[in-house]
Amino acid sequence: MSRDPQAVQAVLLMGATQLNQRAYTLSLEISNSVIEQDPKNPVAHDLAGGAHVGLNDIDAARGSFRAAFEAAPEYFLAVTNLAKLEFFLGNLSAAERLYTYMVEQDNRNGPAMMALSEIDLLRGDQDSTLDWLKKARKDPRTPRLAALRPADFHIFANNSDKALSIARELNGLDPENPIYLTAFGRARFAAKRVALSAVTFKEIAVRASEMKAADWLVRNVAWQMWALDEQGARELL
């Protein structure tokens, strides 16, 4: 195989395509052909790791991801894949070390912070979980849905007032965002402000017809309102 960088890139792209199509054996053969010519190619090792996962060879996958990490510690895709694998296997300490490494290299790495929050949540460390969540929200790379995690956390922990405060803040930042509006409605409901939550869900149903769950939320709240405000519930239904 040619050592020309463009040719190697084309071969790796073909391997990635095969991986996406779940042709794991072929993807592995392609990645190994690159590794034979360039044993330190992090992309090829990472691709091999993905193929090994698809073939359910977890030990080989770990070895490939680690080889990619060792070849290029700055290649965060491989580090992330290795960390995800360790997390999936329940090796929280190993996953934590890898995600912490990424945050040390990039102190605004929101996705890594989100992963660290999940680890701390599993360990029952609520303070650290929330701390990571708050930091992760500052990174534009953090998925928008992740901004809702602190509110969800407080709802789960029965801290409905805190959940409502966070949801209200998010809704104020982007009042037209149906995702934030949904969080606001859920927080209102958790805080036993049932009628207000119904109004919020009704607003979602009007603004975002593509959110099919909105109508269901309205009906669900209406039924729960029935004993408190039968007329209001009827109007919602």
Assess whether 105 and 125 both reside in one domain.
yes
Residues 106 and 163 in one domain: no
Say if residue 115 is in the same domain as residue 164.
no
53-104, pLDDT tens digit by residue? Answer: 999 999 999 999 999 999 999 999 999 999 999 999 999 999 999 999 999 9
- Considering the domain architecture, whether residues 67 and 123 belong to the same structural domain is answered as no
Structure tokens at 77: 């895709």
pLDDT band at residue 167 under the 50/70/90 scheme:
confident
Judge contact between 26 and 33, C-beta under 8 A: no
Cα maximum dimension of the chain = 76
1 and 16 share one domain:
yes
**Percent of the chain surpassing pLDDT 90:** 44
CATH number at residue 219: 1.25.40.10
Closest CA to 202 of 179, 180, 185: 185
Does residue 84 form part of some domain? Answer: no
Instruction: State the burial class of residue 140 (Cβ atoms within 10 Å of its Cβ: 0-12, 13-18, 19+).
Output: exposed
Residue among 65, 150, 75 nearest 105 (CA): 75
Rounded Cα distance, 158 and 187, in Å: 10
- 235 and 161 belong to one structural domain: yes
Q: Residue 206 falls within a domain, yes or no?
A: yes
18 in any annotated domain: yes
In this structure, the answer to whether residues 169 and 217 fall within a common structural domain is yes
- Domain hosting 31: range is 1-72
85 domain-assigned: no
Domain assignment of residue 77, yes or no? no
Token reading at 108: 């605004």
Q: Is pTM, for the whole model, over 0.95?
A: no
Domain termination residue (choose one: 27, 43, 72):
72
Residues 43 and 10 grouped into a single domain? yes
Distance, C-alpha 13 to centroid of its chain: 25
My answer on whether 65 and 1 are in the same domain is: yes
DSSP 124: T
What tens digit of pLDDT does each residue of 25-44 get? Answer: 999 999 999 999 999 999 99
Same domain, 227 and 172: yes
Here the tokens at position 27 are: 């993807």
H/E element holding 100?
A: helix 92-105
Identity of the residue numbered 174: D
My answer on whether 67 and 94 are in the same domain is no
**In terms of domains, do 175 and 211 share one?**
yes
Give the span between the Cα atoms of 12 and 114, in whole angstroms: 30
- Segment among 16-20, 110-114, 164-168, 226-230 with least mean pLDDT: 226-230
DSSP E strands in the chain: the ranges are none
pLDDT at 164 (0 to 100)? 74
Residue identified by tokens 């007329």 is 231
Domain count for the chain, please give it: 3
